[in-house]
Amino acid sequence: MEKEEEYFDEYKINKLFWNITEVAEMFEVTASLIRLWERQFEILRPRRINTRGDRKYNKEDIEHFKLIYHLRKEKGYTIPGVQAKLKEMRNDPVNNEQVILTLRAVREFLVGLRAKL
Give the chain's mean pLDDT.
Answer: 82
What are the tens digits of pLDDT across the range 39-65?
999 888 888 777 777 888 888 888 889
75 vs 93: CA distance, rounded Å: 21
Q: Residue 22: which CATH number?
A: 1.10.1660.10
This model's pTM is above 0.85 = no
What's the pLDDT score for residue 77?
A: 92
Q: Find the domain containing 12 and state its range.
A: 2-116
Looking at the predicted structure, is the pLDDT value of residue 115 above 80?
yes
Looking at the predicted structure, is the pLDDT value of residue 113 above 70?
yes
SS3 readout for the chain: CHHHHHHHHHHCCCCCCEEHHHHHHHHCCCHHHHHHHHHHCCCCCCEECCCCCCEEECHHHHHHHHHHHHHHHHCCCCHHHHHHHHHHHHHCCCCHHHHHHHHHHHHHHHHHHHHHC
Q: Tally the domains of the chain.
A: 1
